[in-house]
Amino acid sequence: MNSRTRAIVLATGLVLLAAVPLAAAMLNQPFYLDLVRRVMIFAIAALSLNLILGYGGMISFGHAAYLGVGAYAVGVLAHYGINNGYLQWALAIGASALVALAIGAVSIRTSGVYFIMITLAFTQMLYYLGISIAEFGGDDGMRLAVKSQFPGLIDLNDANAFYYLVLARSSSSPSSSDTGWSIPVSEW
């Protein structure tokens, strides 16, 4: 696919995604707005696998662990009544980075099937740690009473604003190209 065709396809996709809130409102089905928003959030997380596999050539079963660590960092703060989104965001990034540093220091010394197995082992350890802490819901999960608050930036209680925030983040890309929307493609 040449760059012009690719740009047209991406622009069409963005226009269709931008029309989802309007379509959901017209059909009186707010569920679809939430569903598409969640799909885009998980697509952002899936980009991490594409980056490690495409650029690094390493098959990892541990990439979702860092998403979970960040989610638990936000959830634990919210559980104790700290709903400041800026603080939650900073702690989520910091906690995920520290866990990634520790796991990466051990995992990067391996290769091939050993790398796959050690990332799987660390992910399973973090999974069982998460579901074993009964105070935060254990294996029933954690329910947050209030969404993160970003005063002066965005109101996440507004479903449309939240949707467009996720759309803006998911349509930006870590790589640059002539369209600015290029997603690195794995060679594996």
The pLDDT value given to residue 83 = 92
- Residue 94 CA: distances (Å) to CA of 14, 66, 70, 88, 186: 31, 10, 8, 10, 27
The pLDDT value given to residue 187 = 54
List beta partners, residue 150: 154
Helix (H, G, I), strand (E, B) or coil at 150: strand
The pLDDT value given to residue 42 = 87
Q: Taking 60 as the threshold, does the pLDDT of residue 184 lie above it? A: no
List beta partners, residue 154: 150
State pLDDT tens for residues 137-176: 888 888 888 888 998 888 888 999 999 999 998 887 554 3
Task: Please give the structure tokens belonging to residue 79.
Answer: 């559980």
| pTM summary value | 0.76
Domain boundaries, the chain: 3-171
State pLDDT tens for residues 4-47: 898 899 899 999 999 999 999 999 999 999 999 999 988 887 87
State pLDDT tens for residues 73-124: 999 999 999 999 999 999 999 999 999 999 999 998 998 899 889 999 999 9
CB 150 within 8 A of CB 85: yes
- Residue 62 CA: distances (Å) to CA of 23, 39, 42, 46, 151: 37, 20, 15, 12, 34
Higher pLDDT, 182 or 47: 47
Task: Please give the structure tokens belonging to residue 131.
Answer: 């579901």
Burial readout 77-111 (b: 16 or more C-beta within 10 A, e: otherwise): bbbeeebebeebeebbeebbeebbeebeeebeeee
List Cβ<8 Å contacts ≥24 apart for 28-34.
Answer: 30/159, 33/159, 33/160, 33/163, 34/159
Torsion of CA 37, 41, 46, 47, to 10 degrees: 110
